[in-house]
Amino acid sequence: MTLPAFNEPTSLRQAQRTTRIVEAGCPVIIGAGLAGLSAAIEISPLPCVVLSAGAVSTGTSTGWAQGGVAAAVGPDDDPELHYEDTLAAGAGLCEPDVARAITAAAPDAIAWLAAEGAAFDRNPDGTLRLGLEGAHSRRRIVHAQGDRTGAILLETVVAGARRRDSISLWDHSPARAILTEAGRVTGVLVDTPDGSVELRTNVVLLATGGIGGLFAHTTNPLSSRGQGLALAYRAGATLRDVEMVQFHPTAMHVGIDPMPLVSEAVRGEGAILVNELGEWVLRNPLAARDVVSRAEWAQLQAGHKVFLDARKDPGERFAELFGSIYATAREAGLDPAKDLLPVRPAAHYHMGGVLVDLAGRSSVEGLYAAGEVASTGLHGANRLASNSLLEAVVCGRWVAQGWREAGLASGTPPAPLHYSVDVPWQPDPVVDAVRALMDRYAGVLRDADGLRTALAELEPHRDHETGLVGHLVVEAALRREESRGGHTRLDFPDTSPVAEHILSTPLAFSSSLSVNPDPQADQVVTP
């Protein structure tokens, strides 16, 4: 058994000395967000175990998502248009076959979620009410309760999982290592309040979310610091394009950590971006997120402040359309119908991740990934708005369908484990240091000097999972000597004529892969 070394709290190291062994005999899903629970529901009535680092239904990025689900379901829309918009936003790094397959599956994903109980917003005639977001050529954003789409979808899949006896939910049970033998998965080391458990299985799905919590300014839960990437990397899996971080241009700058998000849908309803002089930050507030974030950053670097002006549009309709955002603004002493909302770019979404094919298979036998932790090739260098929830549900279900076809889900799962644990936030000086470094040197604008400084300062922390992930992101950013999508290099401002993926493996850091336009090619690459 291969057990990667890592530097974690003493309580965990003590737990490891008293590890008990539990035979799962079925797939183990690490993560209880939309991707993980969609897979669990899809595989039912065949069994699986779902591990949640905290309480099931809390702490996942899914529940924080204000934007909706992108799907070509309108009368003037078509999946091919959705596909074209996705490629355009992805700045040359999308895998075309992947983008076409997932956008084509979007209408079915909406139907599946509705069948599970998701109450999407509808017009008086019963048709879906569709919103508009940046870089979309059509209104195709399906919402639930306005800006509560993520929360509603999480409630839906949590309820669906709890209705199914085949799904064994373990809460407050974070995975600490993927165990392997001879290059294939043999189990998961799990830290529970009752001690460490070696959960034996040959099939593991990583659905752990993103890395926004690596940055001092983020819209993500602070717990989202790339734990899944660290697990996969230590297990020997290949990662792809981990330098590609999307900075959302409208994080509310009101002294809250993490920063409250102001959905792009607000600009879809007419809000504009201005500085303190009333000058437009850019003429197209619905440009791709990387474009808008760089325009804002230029204003900030010039000494200006940036505001979202929603006073005219949506104006008095703001509270009705975006109730959660409105409530957050009011708590900060602001009325969006009367006041400018101070905003700035913040780390929001990770386009890179564990390299997988459309069945979710990584380069390690038995290890799968879905959702934000995975790199399917859908998002390329810059995710199209509202394609994240779409990818989570589509790819989560596809993973489960692949398991079913391969006969990988069988047996009787261990009993659910439910704990009443309220763990207060524990300051970690390594985490604090990494967040400051990443924000300073690997944010919206990057250069070689800053990235090398970050690498040197991160090197002593590579045994810490947060330090390891930060190091991987910075190292890949240093290797990408161009500006493309969410990655902007001041010292390499041009985009290379050849689009290449940056691969990170435990064995080598020098591999790159040209984008493969062949839809029949295997997407999993093992250097």
3-state helix, strand, coil in the chain (%, to 5): 35, 20, 45
Residue 357, SS3? coil
Provide φ and ψ at 359, rounded to 5°: -90, 5
Helices marked H in 269-386 — which ranges? 289-301, 318-321, 323-331
Active site residue 289: yes
Question: In this structure, how many other beta carbons lie within 10 angstroms of the beta carbon of residue 491?
Answer: 12
Stated as kind and residue range, the H or E segment containing 60 is none
Angle at CA of residue 393, ends 375 and 363, nearest 5°: 30
Give the bridge partners for 504, in sequence order: 239
- Asked if the bond preceding 314 is cis, omega within 30° of 0, the reply is yes
Give whole-number Cα distances, 222 to 212, 218, 262, 425, in Å: 7, 8, 18, 10
From the list 148, 289, 446, 480, the catalytic residue is 289
Both structure tokens of 175? 């995975």
Strand ranges, E, within 154-244:
167-170, 175-181, 184-192, 195-200, 204-206, 239-240
Span between the terminal Cα atoms of the chain, in Å: 23
Grouping H, G, I as helix, E, B as strand and the rest as coil, residue 493 is: coil
504 token code pair: 């990170």
Residue pair 367/28 in contact (Cβ under 8 Å)? The answer is no
| Catalytic positions | 289
